[in-house]
Amino acid sequence: MEEKELSKLPEFTFGKLSTAEGRLERVKTTGLGLNAQLSLNPLDPKENEPIEITVRIGLGIAVKAVTLHYTTDGILPQFNRENLHSSTMTLAMQQSAIEWDTLQWSYLEKWTAVIPGQPEGTHVQYAISAITTTDQVIYCPYFSKENIDIDSSLLNRFNSDNQPQIYGFYVDNETIPIWLREAVIYQIFVDRFAPISEKKRLATSELSDFLGGTIKGIIAKLDYLKELGVNCLWLTPIFSSSSSHGYDPISHSIIESRFGTEADWEILVKEAHQKDIKIILDYVANHFSDRHPSFKIAQTQKDSQEYHWFRFREWPDDYQCFFDVPSQPEVNSENPELRQYLISNACQWLEKGCDGFRLDYAHGLSQAFWSIFRNATRKLKPDSVTFAEITQPPDFIRSFTGRMDGCLDFKLLELFRDFFAFNSLTVSQFDRQVRQHLAYFGNSLLLPSFLDNHDMNRFLWVVKGDKRRLQLAALCQFSLPSPPIIYYGTEVGLSQLREVGRLEESRLPMLWREDQDKDLFFFYQQLIAWRRDNNLLWRQSTQPQPLIIDEQQGVYVYGCGNYAIALNNSPQGTTVTLTEGKQGSLVLKTQSEVNWDPQTGNLDLPAYGGAITELTH
């Protein structure tokens, strides 16, 4: 690869986990204390399947007995042994493995119990207690104080004074609605997408100001979106908020007046659905604005219900908040009333026509909560969907199987950018890692894919405006099984003015006039049409089959059903010969210079050129 000038900038997609130090800290932290994360087998228990629960016992803890407490009647597990009327059942967990950990220079134990198979619809809730060798009773998760100096936001979050964490899941045969597998999603940053009057927008110099986008504006652009071909819109938060992005909700029911009214929403839903376009709302459950009425009550009335919705360290002014920003207090997802608030508001929006939710920073709330959330929303609207934003490693993400329909694929994002933008992966590395990644997740958790979003430099900016490279990456994105997401404006060449420091740099106003790149739009139109013509491939979660891996030329060709996807990720043109004995046709090309000779099987790929060829055997 020649273009070393596009050397890899630090990307902080995974926060602390973006650095070697952060990863080491995470691995060490995972090996501490009593920890039942990633502990369910199977991940998504079906009717009558026995459920193996495992707890890891690592550094700092020595136990002599471990007990699993569980209920199947929807009542929280009780720990009072004298209550004979309790429906809580207990199982003695058994040491099932001792493993050596060279990094920690320590053994780790696993203790396991098996909950018998349950009928469809059962809500299983459980907690784990242990007795240490010094006769202390501890509840999972537990970390001894001597080790707590290892900083980790996840640890602190779930380790509140040796209180038992209640884990939970539903035994069900829920499947992911097919429409989500077939979706081509368009992410609309509401304030930036379609102002009623473009003038107003242009007059604003400050990017974090309100730039005037509205729901009415979106309605006005539905024809445009239909023409583009997408069949699902994801709107960034539309509820009351004092910011342009809306990720600090003051309400979960009232539409921000700048964006419009509930009447506007009704029209949007109606017209979108008439065009077979679904609408997904961005739902921020992890943290509220400090101006949210419930937080105001919590902060002024310590004896209120709302006090327990949040995580006060020292009431009223010291509380846990999102990235330590005091204006964004984080919720306590274990509180029943808070759960009820979040779920009932979500359900209202389903009743008002919304088709599902993109769940912001979902790992800030417990998996037990999300099980209940999905169960409630699915019950109300069986084809509604949930997908999460979780910037965590794949093993953690995978544990949301059965609790979410999908998770945004930040790992694939990293691979896309490393390969197509930063050239820090070779073809064989990219091929291997993509296929490992898709195989690791299988078919029961969808991973919507994206090249960029509102929290990072746009892909087109990273490749210095070279749209050939964007097209190449998009071609790859759209020919992998996961539902692709287009960040608004990408299809017409929207980029940035400056490098992201302020995230607002990647949230410029949508291009609507002659500055739209019509060729790029046409390319995306074709790409979307091709994807939607081949829904069967995505329903079956068709994996890429490598056909040509040419490290020197930077060429990657892979099979996708009966298609061959050919990518030349290098600044030199080349010709590849597709397998003999097959004839085919050129279905799509990223540039006019792409040429296909079906007689010889020769495919000419210019620099950063790509193509889809249909092969007939």
Torsion of CA 2, 6, 7, 8, to 10 degrees: -130
| Rounded least distance, CB 159 to a copy of itself, Å | 20
Q: Could you write out the three-class secondary structure of 456-521?
A: CCCHHHHCCCCHHHHHHHHHHHHCCCCCEEEECCHHHCCCCCCCCCCHHHHCCCCCCCCCCCHHHH
| Rounded least distance, CB 553 to a copy of itself, Å | 12
- Choice between 353 and 393, CB closer to a copy of itself: 393
Which whole-number Å values give the CA distances from 509 to 279, 486, 505, in the listed order? 21, 15, 10
Choices 128-136, 174-182, 263-271, 307-315; region in contact with a copy of itself by CB under 8 A: 128-136
Walk across the sheet containing 583-589 and list its strands: 545-550, 555-560, 563-568, 610-616, 583-589
List helix spans (H) across 231-366. 262-274, 293-300, 336-351
The only residue of 80, 102, 257, 616 in contact with a copy of itself, by rule CB under 8 A: 102
> Residue 555 in 3-state DSSP?
strand
> Residue 117 in 3-state DSSP?
coil
| Rounded least distance, CB 131 to a copy of itself, Å | 12
> Residue 572 in 3-state DSSP?
coil
Q: Is residue 395 at the binding interface for a copy of itself, with CB under 8 A as the rule?
A: yes
- Choice between 384 and 449, CB closer to a copy of itself: 449
The only residue of 47, 499, 551, 593 in contact with a copy of itself, by rule CB under 8 A: 551
Q: Is residue 65 at the binding interface for a copy of itself, with CB under 8 A as the rule?
A: no
Q: Is residue 436 at the binding interface for a copy of itself, with CB under 8 A as the rule?
A: yes
DSSP state, 420?
I
Q: Among residues 199, 343, 222, 209, which one has the least CA distance to residue 273?
A: 222
- Choice between 126 and 410, CB closer to a copy of itself: 410
The only residue of 9, 24, 92, 137 in contact with a copy of itself, by rule CB under 8 A: 24
The only residue of 46, 296, 381, 432 in contact with a copy of itself, by rule CB under 8 A: 432
For residue 114, what are the β-bridge partners?
52
Q: Is residue 109 at the binding interface for a copy of itself, with CB under 8 A as the rule?
A: yes
Query: What is d(CA 605, CA 573) in angstroms, rounded to the nearest whole number?
Result: 6
- Which residue is listed with tokens 């330590």? 324
Choices 16-24, 210-218, 246-254, 531-539; region in contact with a copy of itself by CB under 8 A: 16-24
Choices 105-113, 156-164, 237-245, 336-344; region in contact with a copy of itself by CB under 8 A: 105-113
The only residue of 82, 84, 85, 103 in contact with a copy of itself, by rule CB under 8 A: 103
Query: What is d(CA 490, CA 516) in angstroms, rounded to the nearest whole number?
Result: 10
| Rounded least distance, CB 395 to a copy of itself, Å | 4
Q: Is residue 105 at the binding interface for a copy of itself, with CB under 8 A as the rule?
A: yes
263 burial (CB, 10 Å; 0-12 / 13-18 / 19+) is exposed
Q: Is 282 annotated as catalytic?
A: no
- Residue 576 tokens read as 């590849």
Q: What residues numbered 507-546 form the site for a copy of itself, per CB under 8 A?
A: 546
- Contact, 415 vs 8, CB < 8 A? no
Q: Is residue 16 at the binding interface for a copy of itself, with CB under 8 A as the rule?
A: no
Q: Is residue 549 at the binding interface for a copy of itself, with CB under 8 A as the rule?
A: yes
Q: Is 389 annotated as catalytic?
A: yes
- Residue 48 tokens read as 């009558």
Active-site entry in 389, 405, 414, 452 = 389
| Rounded least distance, CB 325 to a copy of itself, Å | 27
Binding mask of the shown chain, residues 314 to 343, with x at each position contacting a copy of itself by CB under 8 A: ------------------------------
Q: Is residue 393 at the binding interface for a copy of itself, with CB under 8 A as the rule?
A: yes
- 106-115 and 406-407 as β-strands: parallel, antiparallel, unpaired? unpaired
- 34-35 and 51-57 as β-strands: parallel, antiparallel, unpaired? antiparallel
Choices 159-167, 358-366, 393-401, 456-464; region in contact with a copy of itself by CB under 8 A: 393-401
Choices 429-437, 446-454, 564-572, 605-613; region in contact with a copy of itself by CB under 8 A: 429-437
Active-site entry in 256, 282, 306, 360 = 360
- Residue 562 tokens read as 């009966």
- Which residues are known to be catalytic? 360, 389
Residues that bind a copy of itself (CB under 8 A): 17, 23-24, 26-27, 30, 62, 64, 98, 100, 102-103, 105-107, 109, 132-134, 393-395, 398, 428-429, 431-433, 436-437, 439-440, 546, 549, 551
